[in-house]
Chain A
Amino acid sequence: MPRFATVLFLAGFAFLLFSLTLTLGFGEPPMRAGQGVLDQAVAGTGAANAVSAVLLGFRGLDTLGELSILFAAATAGGLVLGHRRPGGDGPPAGAILQAGTRLLFPLMLVVGFYIVLHGHLTPGGGFQGGVILAAAFFLPVLAGTGAGPDHALLRVVEGLAGTVFILIGLAALWTGGVFLEPLLVDRGALHELFSAGTLPLLYLAVGLKVGAELAGLLAHMARAGGGEA
């Protein structure tokens, strides 16, 4: 009976939601806040990528909150999984996989950092790059060729990266601005790597933090996964 009710309500929900969305003007957004952001992105943050400008400039607090959520998830994950003895390893990976891992590791590092540091110019940024970095460190665990990243180091990195993000924000406060205000925006030319003031620094912090959090979480889970097989 509850299942039947659920299905019934679900059908109603999907139908109503769909009919509600049909009244929304697709393709013709009001652009009330958006147009202003587009107009001011370069002047306000120095970033060619307006999405990055929004992420780190206009809505930097969201990004800080999001980092905090990742940190919270990692902390909670650590709390849940706790100190666990590493479980038995899975079946060893084949030679190709192991060789591929060794080959891929430096490449992924480079790509990851590249994406992190060019976030203000091109699609990409700290999140995307951070995920690639995390994957780079996690690959050896998957392939069975390494024990994964060092937890103590990860905690230092994630703690410091988050702090650096806030400190850059507070630096603006201390120099007479407001919290999270982009600094040194007028240094460097548009479309150059060294431009957009503190944005690349923020992205670096974001990238490191995201990478550290995800790597930590994955490593935790990997150990847990082996434990009870």
Chain B
Amino acid sequence: MDAYIGPLLFLGAAGLLAIGVVGMLLSNHLFRMVLALVIAEAGVNLMLVLAGYRWDAVAPILQPGVAAQPMVDPIPQALVLTAIVIGVGVQALALTLVIRIREAYGTLDMAEVRARMEVDVAAAGGGEATGSRERPAGGRPLPGPGALPEPPR
């Protein structure tokens, strides 16, 4: 059993990280992206805290009246605590931004937000919006009714 616990935990960490990244990259919903970020951070935090684990060791807190025992490495625990709080700060800020974006654009869809941002940025820069991979600039004149030859029957 012991031989499997390590890989299993690593699988958990890598899996959480991967799930989080999936959510961040494939979701078009701003709030879900933030949640995905939370998951990804959880994955990496798990990985960090695993770095301090020792077989058959106890938590690094001296108990009155208990003989000294091997303890796990306390540093990763402290690091994880710090990382979690940092994560909380970032997530909170992300949520305030989501609230504002929703107010301004009335949508939580990333593609739409991006398109409207492009227009706004370009307008602030004094020019018209430029094309992009999803929305090429300029009109795309679709062939009118008579433009294409009739397919042979």
Q: B-contacting residues of A (Cβ < 8 Å)? A: 3, 6-7, 10, 13-14, 17-18, 21-22, 24, 26-29, 31, 33-35, 37-38, 41-42, 48-51, 53-55, 58-59, 62-63, 65-66, 69-70, 72-74, 76-77, 80-81, 121-123, 127, 190-191, 210, 213-214, 217, 220-221, 224-225, 227-228
Contact = CB atoms under 8 A, between A and B. Distances in A.
Nearest to B103: A228
Contact of A80 (B71, B90, B97): B97
Contacts of A228: 102-103
Contact of A17 (B5, B14, B51, B89): B14
Given A123-B59, A127-B85, A217-B96, 17 more contacts: A6-B26, A10-B18, A24-B51, A34-B74, A37-B73, A38-B60, A51-B60, A62-B79, A66-B86, A69-B85, A73-B89, A77-B92, A77-B96, A121-B61, A122-B61, A127-B81, A217-B92
Contacts of A221: 92, 95-96, 99
A50 B15 CA distance: 30
B29 interface: no
B137 interface: no
Contacts, number: 162
B61 A28 contact: no
A72 B89 contact: yes
A10 B50 CA distance: 23
Contact of B96 (A22, A59, A80): A80
A81 B11 contact: no
* Secondary structure dominating the interface of A: helix
Contact of A73 (B18, B55, B90): B90
A54 B63 CA distance: 17
A42 B85 contact: no
Given A38-B74, A220-B96, A123 B61 contact: yes
B52 interface: yes
* Secondary structure dominating the interface of B: helix
A207 to B, nearest CB: 12
Given A21-B10, A54-B75, A34 B96 contact: no
Given A13-B18, A55-B78, A220-B96, A227 B103 contact: yes
B10 A22 contact: yes
Interface of B: 5-7, 9-11, 13-15, 17-18, 21-22, 25-26, 47, 50-55, 59-64, 71-75, 77-79, 81-82, 85-86, 88-90, 92-93, 95-97, 99-100, 102-103
A17 to B, nearest CB: 5
A114 B147 CA distance: 80
A28 B60 contact: no
Contact of B25 (A6, A50, A66, A224): A6
Contacts of B100: 80-81, 224
B61 A51 contact: yes
B66 to A, nearest CB: 11
A51 B72 CA distance: 10
20 contacts: A6-B25, A18-B11, A18-B14, A22-B7, A26-B50, A27-B6, A27-B53, A27-B54, A29-B73, A31-B54, A50-B60, A51-B74, A55-B82, A62-B79, A69-B89, A127-B81, A220-B96, A221-B95, A221-B96, A228-B103
